[in-house]
Amino acid sequence: MNAADIWILAGVPASSFVVALSGALMPGPLLTLTVGESARRGFWAGPLIMVGHAVLELALVILLLIGVGAWLHRPWILGAVGLGGAVMLGWMGLGLVRASRGGRLELDANAAGGLHPVWAGVLMSLANPYWLLWWLTIGLGYVLFSVKYGFVGVLLFFVGHILADFAWYTLVAAAVARGSRFLSDQVYRNFLAGCGVFLFAFGGYFGFQGVKFLLNA
């Protein structure tokens, strides 16, 4: 492995973390569940929900790797996934920038459920069609890129990705359990805007790589 490969590998978990954090920041089913369960059960409900979410995502990564080994590693497929991921990233970035104009982090504790938090994390993820769409475009593109560096590449991608989820939702759970509001609306909007700009830039990279693969198909 040369120096360039080492630098690329070092950037995999960092970029994976930021992309995953960009998705986690947007209010959605998992945020609602985390707020409700943390208010009802206490702080540890948040990390436990993320354990369920992480187990499901690890299973999906394994399935994607099996698919990669079977038939996905072809230039036209890599190109299509790259362009699809670019469109998805651009759409997410646009949504974040729009949300940054007037977004608010609502901490409504009236959303607790009856399932164990781990199972709730699995089922809430499965019930969200956006989650599967993300993995079939951006996630698949990352897996295809990372697998070129073997097990280490895929591991670094997954660690960076899941750490972002754990960091954000653990922070939310701690804030709810303590009964505090840890982010002002303006700080939250700045987070959204910054992540939106990053997604636009990263989407451009995805799209560029996709076109290169298609030209070589």
Mean pLDDT value across residues 4-17: 82
Helix (H, G, I), strand (E, B) or coil at 151: helix
**Sign of torsion, CA 122 84 94 18?**
positive
Helix (H, G, I), strand (E, B) or coil at 85: helix
Residue 202: exposure state from Cβ atoms within 10 A (0-12, 13-18, ≥19): buried
Alpha-carbon gap, residue 51 to 150, rounded angstroms: 25
pLDDT-derived band at 2 (thresholds 50, 70, 90) equals low
Mean pLDDT value across residues 12-41: 80
Spatial neighbors of 56 by CB under 8 A, at least 6 apart, are 121, 122, 125, 126
Which structural domain range is residue 175 located in?
A: 3-215
Number of domains forming the structure of the chain: 1
Reported as a single tens digit per residue, the pLDDT across 107-147 is 555 544 567 889 888 888 876 657 876 887 788 888 888 88
Q: What is the DSSP letter of 114?
A: S
